[in-house]
Chains A and B, each alone.
Chain A
């Protein structure tokens, strides 16, 4: 069974731009969670989607948004990028949200 995939793996953007990251969960998994990892703040929860609905949201500004499609694939969008948004963005999938989570390889975003 294929694991969680994320695209792209690396991105370089400039301040003010916007970016869209994609996550394809393990087949059969309907829950997708997104996390941000930075050296200063560690791993922090962004949001979780299940059956195209956002069920849970972390403490991030509205510039961070996401969505989930009917095939469970998920995207997250960051608008008006700031230098502090430079981070590793990880998605994780699970069957329904309270099962074991399996992580993708992450997207490394650098904002210049």
Chain B
């Protein structure tokens, strides 16, 4: 069983809709990353969280350490948000080793 689980696997939204992607993990972590990957493209780090909430433009990420759960929200979604979003955790005392969820494929239609 994967130690990092994401849901949903796929998501289609209309432009302007609010999108939520969830991530649950079963290990102790020092930080959690949300990553974005466009088709054929490299990986971009959106957020690194160890507690609370972070906001960057239309993206909001939250984490609940006690419940071992994080969410990524996209407000007012736009077709350029279409990408794979990946949750990755940095386990406690695990130097430089990210463990990844399977990713969520997001498609935003005009």
The interface of chain A, by Cβ under 8 A from chain B, is: 31-33, 35, 42-45, 48-50, 55-56, 58, 90, 92, 94, 97-106
The 5 closest A-B pairs by CB, nearest first: A48-B96, A100-B48, A97-B96, A43-B100, A103-B43
How near does chain A come to B51, taking the closest CB pair, in angstroms? 14
B99 within 8 A of A: yes
Contact A45 B103, CB 8 Å, known A90-B42, A98-B31? no
Contact A56 B43, CB 8 Å, known A43-B100, A100-B33, A100-B48? no
B42 touching A31, Cβ below 8 Å: no
Chain B CB within 10 Å, residue with most, of A45, A90, A105: A45
For residue A101, which residues in chain B have a CB less than 8 angstroms away from its CB? Answer: 33, 45, 48, 96, 98
Chain B 14-42 interface residues, beta-carbon cutoff 8 Å to A: 30-31, 33, 35, 41-42
A58 touching B97, Cβ below 8 Å: yes
Contact A103 B99, CB 8 Å, known A43-B86, A98-B31, A98-B90? no
Query: Interface majority SS on B: helix, strand, loop or mixed?
Result: strand
A45 touching B45, Cβ below 8 Å: no
How near does chain B come to A18, taking the closest CB pair, in angstroms? 24
Tally of contact residues, B, Cβ under 8 A: 22
A31 touching B43, Cβ below 8 Å: no
Query: Interface majority SS on A: helix, strand, loop or mixed?
Result: strand
A104 touching B94, Cβ below 8 Å: no
**Minimum CB distance partner of A103 in chain B:** B43
Docked Cα-Cα span, A58 to B100, in Å, equals 13
A55 touching B42, Cβ below 8 Å: no
